[in-house]
């Protein structure tokens, strides 16, 4: 039995469930999730180690979660789309994820354009089928068939698989088909590694997730988080993080009356960070205004942890 491996890019419109799928397949929370579109801003590796079973080969699937495909209108948006293109370059398979509970629209067209251009083999995953079930079992299948037909006419997918990333349905068959498609190859990452993200970046993301969940309108989009201090001691990790927003009004919302909002964000984030790092955490949050940071190519580049590592090297 041979060992199959390769890089597999998860591609789709914002909010389709890409990050939920990554987490569900790896079985760990590697990417933040929110009901708001454009939650993910950079590519995230999730490494799936598949043990060898009777009559079945084992392997390693290196999944790459990506920002939602959109037409960018800022430096941040352009950077997000660069991340998408970099994730697609060199991958052996693309998992195109569509939201089966909504109609196709121009953002889905744009996703297909990218897949066609890349010429990489692709699967179509019709996600969120749990939402169709509420409309009756017979109807849910009936609902999917026209969508499948529509997609079939637009592109030749190797497989079309209905899934629910949230309920972990259809994932066994998906994984089986992914492994069968990947070529025999090496183990790219050691068996104990499940992501390439540094802990401090995951901490920044956990804080950003709380902001996405707690705030509305422009605030979550105008916000980013940078870790300024990260010190691991015996039984206690000290973390200081700066939350950047673009305007004084946004800062007022993030801080809240008497600091209530910041406290809520901090407490919820701290509990998750403690579970991740395995120590108690002392978390300090500061809100700073950086007018128009999303338009600043330099600042957006500074946020990229891969770049930060290059500078340290």
Which residues lie near Mg ion (CB under 5 A)?
18-19, 39-40
| Binder among 26, 165, 202, 253 for ligand GTP (CB under 6 A) | 165
| Strand ranges for the chain from DSSP E | 4-12, 44-50, 59-65, 93-99, 122-127, 159-162, 224-232, 236-245, 280-289
- As measured in angstroms, the least distance from the Cβ of 33 to ligand GTP is 4
Does 208 participate in binding ligand GTP (rule CB under 6 A)?
Answer: no
Please choose, out of 133-141, 161-169, 236-244, 282-290, the segment that lies near ligand GTP by the rule CB under 6 A.
161-169
Distance separating the N- and C-terminal Cα atoms of the chain: 40
**Total binding residues for ligand GTP by CB under 6 A?**
24
x/- map, 11-30, ligand GTP, by CB under 6 A: -x-xxxxxxx----------
Q: Which does 12 bind (CB under 5 to 8 A by kind): ligand GTP, Mg ion, none?
A: ligand GTP
x/- map, 231-260, ligand GTP, by CB under 6 A: ------------------------------
Residue 203, both tokens: 């901490």
Does 130 participate in binding ligand GTP (rule CB under 6 A)?
Answer: yes
Q: Which does 72 bind (CB under 5 to 8 A by kind): Mg ion, ligand GTP, none?
A: none
Q: How far apart are CA 84 and CA 224, in angstroms?
A: 19
Q: How far apart are CA 275 and CA 268, in angstroms?
A: 11
Does 43 participate in binding ligand GTP (rule CB under 6 A)?
Answer: no
Q: What Cα–Cα distance (Å) separates residue 27 from each residue in 31, 82, 148, 266?
A: 11, 27, 28, 25
Query: CB-based contacts of 162: which residues, under 8 Å, 6+ apart?
Result: 100, 125, 126, 129, 144, 170
Residue 46, both tokens: 């999730």
Question: In the block, which residue shows the tokens 């340290």?
Answer: 312
Rg of the chain on CA atoms, in Å: 20
Does 162 participate in binding ligand GTP (rule CB under 6 A)?
Answer: no
- As measured in angstroms, the least distance from the Cβ of 55 to ligand GTP is 30
Closer by beta carbon to Mg ion, 174 or else 262: 174
Does 224 participate in binding ligand GTP (rule CB under 6 A)?
Answer: no
Residue 176, both tokens: 């089986």
Does 34 participate in binding ligand GTP (rule CB under 6 A)?
Answer: yes
Site for ligand GTP, rule CB under 6 A? 12, 14-20, 33-35, 37-40, 67-68, 127-128, 130-131, 164-166
């Amino acid at each position: 039995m041979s060992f199959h491996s390769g890089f597999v890019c998860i591609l789709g419109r914002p909010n389709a469930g890409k990050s939920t799928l990554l987490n569900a397949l790896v079985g760990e929370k590697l990417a933040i999730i929110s009901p708001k579109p454009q939650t993910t801003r950079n590519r995230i590796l999730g490494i799936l180690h598949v043990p060898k079973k009777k009559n079945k080969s084992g392997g390693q699937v290196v999944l790459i979660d990506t920002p939602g495909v959109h037409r960018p209108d800022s430096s941040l948006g352009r950077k997000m789309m660069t991340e998408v293109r970099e994730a697609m370059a060199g991958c052996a398979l693309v998992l195109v994820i569509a939201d089966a509970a909504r109609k196709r629209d121009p953002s889905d067209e744009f996703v297909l354009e990218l897949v066609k251009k890349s010429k990489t083999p692709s699967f179509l995953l019709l996600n969120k089928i749990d939402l169709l079930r509420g409309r009756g079992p017979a109807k849910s299948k009936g609902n999917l068939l026209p969508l499948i037909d529509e997609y079939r006419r637009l592109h030749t997918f190797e497989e079309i698989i209905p899934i629910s990333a949230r309920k972990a349905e259809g994932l066994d068959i998906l994984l089986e088909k992914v492994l069968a498609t990947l070529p025999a190859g090496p183990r790219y990452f050691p068996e104990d590694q499940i992501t390439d993200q540094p802990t401090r970046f995951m901490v920044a993301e956990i804080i950003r997730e709380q902001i996405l969940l707690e705030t509305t309108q422009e605030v979550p989009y105008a916000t980013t988080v940078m870790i300024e201090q990260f010190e691991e001691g015996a039984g206690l990790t000290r973390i200081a993080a700066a939350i950047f927003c673009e305007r004084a009004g946004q800062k007022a919302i993030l801080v809240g009356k008497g600091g209530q909002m910041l406290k809520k964000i901090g407490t919820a984030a701290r509990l998750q960070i403690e579970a991740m790092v395995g120590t108690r955490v002392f978390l300090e949050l500061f809100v700073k205004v950086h007018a128009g940071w999303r338009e600043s190519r330099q600042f957006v580049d500074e946020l990229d942890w891969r770049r930060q590592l290059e500078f340290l090297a």
